[in-house]
Structure 1
């Protein structure tokens, strides 16, 4: 039986942009639904959870940042690609901090939009197809790639978004080696860094908040002009 095409919801209040994006994504063979605001998104989610959500930040009523926070808190969240105006740098950073996986500024190149979504879907598909992935132990954590589960030293489960899990797994596999920002961006998001791109720095900040112990040095060390490395906790 052939695989079902990925499900994508496009949340955009501008009908012209929404229709254009839906047509573009449907041309890739993906199954797409549109929504103009949070209420319409809620109706669309009743039909099934998508693999990805393309989410505009400037929505009427509940804004995109609030919606992204709710989606990222789900047990199995979809990948979230934010669409933002180029002047909204602070909103991009906040969006990444609360759980969005990637962002794209408006106006955007249609081919880049497709490439970004394809990279997110590839990561989601790879995660879903791992039936018996490697189990990593590093820095006091057990990282079960097959089950997409992280547990601490006391056996407590640590809830991570898809991008946070991918980052922790990459750092754990490196076994103490420094990984550059460009390497991590390509491995996690499937793209090269743009000038002043802070996506990895924001993702590291999010992950630190979930795995670091209060009053102790961060387990993820930033190495100037080099990248990041996962260290064993100090006794």
Structure 2
């Protein structure tokens, strides 16, 4: 059961679709507001912060990707982008790399949209809970490497420090907490989303960056391996301390 979520904003220039989405979400006890362009969205952002934004990438004169950039420049409010069905995936990929939390392709079912909204809001609640916990303690050792949780310090087998971005640290921690187990991209997305100030949520991009720091040969990875049809697996033993 979700806690009090405030309200969400549906940004779409199609009034029929917009009202249909709002009516359905409100029937499921999710307070919802409507916006059809940049100025109307900014009106809501200037007031009380919404719990989530559903953002269409095709808004007539406004470009949804530009709006997403603006949102991410000052806020980490969750965003689900909606896109039309296109032969390529460039809009979705760019949207995720700019910081969208999820996407859904038009035409979509209202039931699927509701499920995605609830999933993103649950991740948001997990983030708040994680930030309220006690300071992190202990760490992990693997293949001569060591990660200290309190300091977020990673050292290689020669005891040289290896800097990690927040996204890389969150991703590595997710792997170390579940070693030698296939993890889906959705699981890894959720694990990295609970940390603040992570604007690149393309898991494949984050894995590539982490491989470049951990692997002797990133093109033939031995530590973080791809699990076809599932996601990734941290393939070496891990010892917590």
Asked if Structure 1 and Structure 2 have the same fold, meaning a TM-score greater than 0.5 normalized by the shorter chain, the answer is yes
Which SS does the other structure have where 2:58 is aligned? coil
What is aligned with 1:86? 85
Could you tell me how far apart the structure 2 residues matched to 1:72 and 1:85 are? 22
What is aligned with 2:239? none
Could you tell me how far apart the structure 2 residues matched to 1:29 and 1:71 are? 25
Distance 1:60 1:44, change over 3 A: same
Which SS does the other structure have where 1:70 is aligned? helix
* Equivalent of residue 223 in structure 1, options 214, 219, 226: 226
Distance 1:209 1:70, change over 3 A: farther
What is aligned with 1:64? 64
Distance 1:170 1:19, change over 3 A: same
TM normalised by structure 2 equals 0.68
Could you tell me how far apart the structure 2 residues matched to 1:169 and 1:30 are? 33
User: RMSD between aligned alpha carbons?
Assistant: 3.6
What is aligned with 1:179? 182
Alignment of 1:59-138 (within 5 A): 59-74=59-74, 77-87=76-86, 89-130=89-130, 131-132=132-133, 135=136, 137=139
Listed one character per residue, the Cα deviations across residues 178-209 of structure 1 (whole Å, up to 9, x for unaligned) are: 4233xx425746xxxxxxxxxxx942314645
Distance 1:70 1:121, change over 3 A: same
Distance 1:230 1:37, change over 3 A: farther
Listed one character per residue, the Cα deviations across residues 118-145 of structure 1 (whole Å, up to 9, x for unaligned) are: 000011012113321572745766667x
Could you tell me how far apart the structure 1 residues matched to 2:216 and 2:40 are? 44
Which SS does the other structure have where 2:21 is aligned? helix
Distance 1:7 1:114, change over 3 A: same
Which SS does the other structure have where 2:71 is aligned? helix
Larger Rg, first or second structure (1 or 2): 2
Could you tell me how far apart the structure 2 residues matched to 1:156 and 1:118 are? 34
